[in-house]
Copies of this chain bind each other. A is one copy, B any other.
Amino acid sequence: MPSLFPAARIRLASRTGRATPCDVGRRDSGPGDLPVFSEQVLKWRKGAGLDAAERNRIDSSVVEVRTFGAREVIVRAGQTLDVSLLLIHGLMSRHVDDRDGVRQMVSVHVPGDFVDLHAFPLKTLDHDVGTLTSVCAAIVPHRALAQIVEDAPELARKLWYATLLDAAMHRKWVYRLGRLSAHQRLAHFFCETNLRMAAVNLSDKRRFVLPLTQADLGEICGLTAIHVNRVIRDLREWSLVTFRASVVEIHDLPGLTELGAFEPAYLYFEDDFLRGFDKTTTADGHAAAPDDS
């Protein structure tokens, strides 16, 4: 299994396990050899790429790098926050919690996402934030963000943009839940996640590690775990995609895209990046999968 999720960078901790400290990349050149956190931030996003100065500004805003175990709740709804998390390794989620323990996930975050940047303008969140895997995240104090807003308006606009990217994804999730069938919802989610993972080199465009249970997929797609199970079986039997042992393997990307009515415009990826995902990659043909780290 090639470097989809290099063990050296993140190890999937057991439910109760302790997160492994994560080794943060370093830039060889640069002022003072600052650790690099911003590498994946807004990567490939149309009209929001960060220049060297902006990355530096973000990197130097980080006051701490923290690790968390898998399946921890990091932020509870209502809590007042004065820092935000920039996800470096692992997966996180945000969910709306019902009193009866019924949860609905509202987003899944991949490395490079500013998970709860929303908390900066809002001061308090309306939902919970948690880890899915063990996680390594950079802590950015809101003071530093306020300073950025104060004297780097263009970077501020890009941070704003990052939060609106989340909003755009939320909208598509509303659409997914409101208009698509169970099969389509799963297909759509796999397509979306494939793209987002690929953007940060965690998918080779057909295959990626997705450490979720079928129950998690149910919380994402508004379905019961049991129904998810049957739907996944169908998708497998239809030779569209398999999901087994936390690995998603897309056998027929055009077919999956078609079924899920997936149109990636809402992710605001640059056309260059999207070009690798069109009708070229069919069936198991191991089609061209370039520029993968």
**Whole-angstrom CA separation of A94 from B172 in the bound complex:** 12
Per the 8 Å Cβ criterion, residues 75-106 of A in contact with B are 77-78, 94, 96, 98-99, 102, 104, 106
Question: If the complex has contacts A126-B266, A222-B179, are A163 and B167 also in contact, measured as CB distance less than 8 A?
Answer: yes
Expressed in whole angstroms, the Cα–Cα distance for A163 and B171 within the complex equals: 13
> Known interface pairs A163-B164, A179-B102. Does A172 touch B96 (Cβ–Cβ under 8 Å)?
yes
A17 at the interface (CB under 8 A from B): no
Judge whether A118 is part of the interface by a CB distance below 8 angstroms. Answer: yes
State A116–B175 Cα separation when bound (angstroms): 18
* A25 on the B face (CB < 8 A): no
Interface size on A, residues (CB 8 A): 46
Separation of A104 and B174 alpha carbons in the complex (Å):
8
Q: Which of A149-157, A230-238, A245-253, A270-278 contacts B (4 or more CB under 8 A)?
A: A149-157
A166–B167 contact, CB under 8 A?
A: yes
| A161 contacts chain B at the CB level, 8 A cutoff | yes
Given known contacts A177-B222, A222-B178, A171 and B172 CB-to-CB distance under 8 angstroms: no
Q: Which residues of B contact A122 (CB under 8 A)?
A: 47, 161, 164, 168, 268
Select which of B98, B172, B178 is within 8 A of A179 by beta carbon: B98
Residues in B neighbouring A173, C-beta threshold 8 A: 170, 174
A71 to nearest B CB, angstroms?
20
| Contacting residues, chain B, for A158 (C-beta < 8 A) | 121
CB-contact partner of A149 in B104, B157, B178, B221, under 8 A: B157
Is A261 part of the binding interface, using a Cβ–Cβ cutoff of 8 Å? yes
Asked if residues A175 and B123 are in contact (CB atoms below 8 Å), the reply is: no
Residues of B within 8 A of A146 (CB): 153, 157
- A175–B104 contact, CB under 8 A? yes
Q: How far is the CB of A56 from chain B (nearest CB, A)?
A: 20
Interface residues of A in 122-162 (CB under 8 A from B): 122-123, 126-127, 146, 149-150, 153, 156-158, 160-161
Q: Would B178 and A121 count as touching, CB distance under 8 A?
A: no
CB neighbours of A179 from chain B (8 A): 96, 98, 102, 104, 222
CB-based nearest B residue for A117: B164
Mask for A211-227, Cβ within 8 A of B = 1, else 0? 00000000101100000
Does A7 interact with chain B (Cβ within 8 Å)?
no
Contact A153 B157 (CB under 8 A): no
Alpha-carbon separation in the docked complex, A221 to B175 (Å) = 10
On whether the beta carbons of A171 and B170 are closer than 8 Å, the reply is yes
- Expressed in whole angstroms, the minimum distance between the Cβ of A263 and any Cβ of chain B is 9
Contact of A98 among B99, B149, B219, B261 (CB under 8 A): B261
Query: Would you call B171 and A126 a contact (CB within 8 A)?
Result: yes
Give every chain B residue within 8 A of A222 (Cβ-Cβ): 177-179
